[in-house]
Chain A
Amino acid sequence: ETGVTQSPTHLIKTRGQQVTLRCSSQSGHNTVSWYQQALGQGPQFIFQYYREEENGRGNFPPRFSGLQFPNYSSELNVNALELDDSALYLCASSFRGDGYTFGSGTRLTVV
């Protein structure tokens, strides 16, 4: 049984650029959610996908968007990057919300 894997592990982007982060769900999990964790803060819920449909969204602007694929892997896209987008981005998967397994995260730095 594989866990949740995220790629890349680290990324540096310039303000205004666009970024795509990727997440492979744990085997058997059909729900994936994304979080932004700024340094010293708790994770902030970005959105959640269940069977390729978005079924929950936090207070993030539309330039944060996502996809879930038929194999339940997922992407987080952020357009027009801002300095404040620098954070650890965490992906978590579950089977219908019964406990979430987190990936090791992607640390994004916007300069």
Chain B
Amino acid sequence: ELKVEQNPLFLSMQEGKNYTIYCNYSTTSDRLYWYRQDPGKSLESLFVLLSNGAVKQEGRLMASLDTKARLSTLHITAAVHDLSATYFCAVVWNRDDKIIFGKGTRLHILP
């Protein structure tokens, strides 16, 4: 069974600081997604990572994938308050196309 672990689960940080959210998964997968969720809202797609070494950037967010280490990171550069949200990684289990989410990282950026 595929397991997806995110850490930290909760992060409070000051504006202007950098930080990284980690996503580890337990079995082989060829697709990993990052999503953002605001309170009471649905999921907004941020990145789709399909291959080892993939790196994607959008604004202050950058995601990377290491399939050998089964690790993805979401790096936040010079955080701003608007980035406060819960961030989920989700991994597709190759065996039967299940999509397994991590528990999410609740990010709170202090002005």
Contact = CB atoms under 8 A, between A and B. Distances in A.
B42 A97 contact: no
Interface residues of B, number: 21
A99 to B, nearest CB: 4
B33 interface: yes
A103 B42 contact: yes
A48 B97 CA distance: 8
Contacts of B96: 55-57
A105 interface: yes
A97 B33 CA distance: 11
Interface in A23-52: 33, 35, 41-45, 48
Contacts, number: 54
B54 interface: no
Contact of A45 (B31, B44, B99): B99
Contacts of A104: 41-42
B5 to A, nearest CB: 11
Interface residues of A, number: 23
Contacts of B103: 41-42
Given A42-B88, A43-B88, A56-B96, A99 B45 contact: yes
A11 B45 CA distance: 26
A98 B101 contact: no
Nearest to A103: B42
A77 B42 CA distance: 20
Q: Across chains A and B, which 4 residue pairs bring their CB atoms closest together, nearest first?
A: A42-B101, A56-B97, A102-B43, A99-B48
